[in-house]
Chains A and B, each alone.
Chain A
Amino acid sequence: MSLTATAKAGPRRPAGTGPGPDDGRAAALRRTWRKASPYAYIAPFFTLFLAFGLFPLLYTAFVSLYRVELQTSGEMEWRGLANYTALFSDEFFWTSLRNTFTIGVLSTVPQLAMALGLAHLLNYKLRGRTFIRTAILLPYATSVAAATLVFAQLFGRDFGLINYVIGLVGFDPVDWQTGTVASQIAVSTIVIWRWTGYNALIYLAGMQSIPHELYEAAEMDGASRWRQFIHVTLPGLRPTIIFTVIISTIGATQLFGEPLLFEGSISGGISHQYQTLGLYMYEQGWGFFHLGRAAAIAWVMFVLIVVIVGVNALIVRRRTRKEAGR
């Protein structure tokens, strides 16, 4: 019997060779299992992924065309695009869209700029390097809820530490909760505090994969440290920068916990002055029970993310290309 021989043919068996005439049943079975068994390995993940990942994502667009109320989420009533028209005629939608954009810029730009600077410093030979890296990542390990509660107190109008420090320098206290610009700066500060260290480490990882010879060559050509940074580090970091810009943009569009807990209201301040799209969606869905409307907002957010990420990536690509080409 050549049974064992065929079984041993294993995975390297060229495709298209059917079972030989003297193949036993056991070998055929084993071969079928060889072909099918990889699917058993991905099955646990994909079952969950389809049910709780992919299906909800796709179904959102469908739900956004219906009237669905939270209390009776099993009943759906066709509304066509009415959810969207209602959305676009709601002034608070436009407010939250504007807020999302300003808070996004206010938090992302300084965050990434500072992260780049920090990464540059962390890349030097330093004493206690591991300690510094770990400590700088601490804010990332704190939850949105904890960080926001702490900062809400630091930003307190009457007894907050930040106003006290500002007072020492000689400025009037700022009303961080009610002022539009002030509250947006305060919310952005929480985001910056939590994410700068994380991004710095990502940049650092990118910097460490830039070949040493490039710096040596630049040194030979008499490039100053600053010029080395511009001409070697930045071009080398391009994919990493694009990556962080995309991640941060998505994060900024999703902002939810910080504005919700800054004062604990779902309207994002007394006149919605720092209500973001994420919070607006939550207010519509779980404050006013309009799940269909909330799904429409989610869908708008998705389109927004795709557009902003595309534009961002283009800008970064062109900027770094220009700098590299100089």
Chain B
Amino acid sequence: MTALAAPPTAPGKDGPPQTPPPGRRLRKRGAGRTMKGGWLSYVILGFALLISAFPFYWTIVAASRSNADMAQVPPSLLPGPNLIKNFEQVLEEADIGKALLNSLIVSSSITLGTVLCCTLAGFAFAKLKFKGRGALLTLTIGTMMIPPQLGVIPLFMLIAELQWVNQLQAVILPGLVSAFGVFFMRQYLVQSLPDELIEAARVDGASTARIFWSIVIPIARPGMAVLGMLTFMTAWNDFFWPIIALSSQEPTVQVALRQLGGGYVNDQSVIMAGTLLGTLPVLLVFGLLGRQIVGGIMQGAVKG
């Protein structure tokens, strides 16, 4: 057998911190292979990049043209002059402005709440001893593989009972439940928070709360940042639950896009303008922090 990517460790068994906390460099020396790629690798990868990026380029093209342009053969492949006009139209027709604001509120609240809850719980699972720790962690990880869609009907009945339908908290509160987040933070802290540090603080008479605030949070910050980015992206793009819990009066961006695509607007270039507006914020985040997101996904993959 080869040395594999560490499978999820059995809950309740903390290994000693073996590796230093993952820093900015993704590549561990001495692992993997470092051969030079030939020209063919570049060609194939270039092709893959083209396919990845083309729909974005085409969205910009379509959003900056008129509906008449979209019904032409051959289709135009260069941006046109209508971008601002289409933006104005989509803001008017589909209330994208309100949707963007709602998405921002929802995604930020979910991100803050999730990172906080998961850091607290992750710390407890990683470093504190208490009865039922293993069982609770197993329960949490066990639900990681169960898609949230399966609980959607009772969840909707619950929201209806609370009279939250069409209110943002209906999307925010269920969005805070991230079993993955707890697991992620626990793994992160097991690896990067030395037990000795906590012991030393205890000997100095620090309370757990004090330790959490002055030691755990500073050390956990990089992990919290990665979890925050992934959570924000997921929350921004979430589709299934928001279209059930919210309606056109209180839409998130995804709900608004659904209305755009649902025959409500027939102008193809306006639909694309809305799509572009709805995607831009995430693309901005990605443009700024793409590297860290790549790192986060790769770290999460090796450990889980």
Contact = CB atoms under 8 A, between A and B. Distances in A.
A306 to B, nearest CB: 9
Nearest to B43: A121
Interface in B24-46: 26-28, 30-37, 41-42, 44-45
A240 B300 CA distance: 11
B154 to A, nearest CB: 4
A73 B263 CA distance: 29
A246 B144 CA distance: 12
A1 interface: no
B112 interface: no
A8 B207 CA distance: 11
Given A124-B36, A125-B37, A286 B244 contact: yes
Interface in A239-293: 239-240, 243, 246, 250, 253-254, 256-257, 260-261, 264, 278, 281-282, 285-286, 291
B120 interface: yes
Nearest to B182: A45
B89 interface: no
B147 interface: yes
A188 interface: no
Nearest to B61: A161
B240 A256 contact: yes
A206 B136 contact: no
A16 interface: no
Interface stretch (B9-17, B47-55, B80-88, B218-226): B47-55
Nearest to A134: B290
Contact of B128 (A38, A151, A201): A38
Interface string A7-33: 010110000000000000000000000
Interface string B266-297: 00100110010011001101100011011001
B167 interface: no
B302 A60 contact: no
Given A38-B124, A49-B177, A198 B297 contact: yes
B137 to A, nearest CB: 9
Interface residues of B, number: 115
Interface in A138-182: 138-139, 141-154, 158-159, 161, 164
B157 A250 contact: no
Contact of A239 (B7, B182, B263): B7
A136 B268 contact: no
A149 to B, nearest CB: 5
Interface in B98-143: 116-118, 120-121, 123-125, 128-130, 133, 136, 139-140, 143
Nearest to A309: B145
A43 B212 CA distance: 15
Interface residues of A, number: 109
B155 interface: yes
A87 interface: no
Nearest to A228: B33
Contacts of A207: 32-33
A42 B136 contact: yes
B90 interface: no
Contacts of A260: 258
B206 to A, nearest CB: 11
A143 B283 CA distance: 11
Given A126-B41, A134-B294, A136-B52, A149 B275 contact: yes
Contacts of B53: 135, 138
B62 interface: yes
A41 interface: yes
Nearest to A235: B2
A107 B96 CA distance: 31
Nearest to B285: A141
A238 B7 CA distance: 11
Interface in A186-202: 193, 197-198, 201-202
Interface string A304-325: 0100010000000000000000
Contacts of B202: 10-11
Contacts of B27: 208
Which of B72, B120, B177, B272: most chain A Cβ within 10 A? B177
Contacts of A53: 143, 148, 151, 174, 177, 179
Interface of B: 2-7, 26-28, 30-37, 41-42, 44-45, 48-49, 51-53, 55-56, 58-59, 62, 70-75, 116-118, 120-121, 123-125, 128-130, 133, 136, 139-140, 143, 145-158, 160-161, 173-174, 176-177, 179, 182, 202-203, 205, 208-209, 212, 233, 236-237, 239-240, 244, 253-254, 257-258, 260-263, 268, 271-272, 275, 278-279, 282-283, 285-286, 290-291, 293-294, 297-299, 301-302, 304
24 contacts: A37-B128, A39-B124, A44-B120, A48-B173, A49-B140, A56-B158, A60-B153, A63-B154, A121-B41, A132-B49, A137-B290, A142-B279, A145-B275, A149-B257, A150-B272, A159-B70, A204-B298, A209-B5, A210-B4, A210-B33, A214-B2, A235-B2, A243-B304, A250-B147
The 3 closest A-B pairs by CB, nearest first: A56-B151, A124-B37, A208-B32
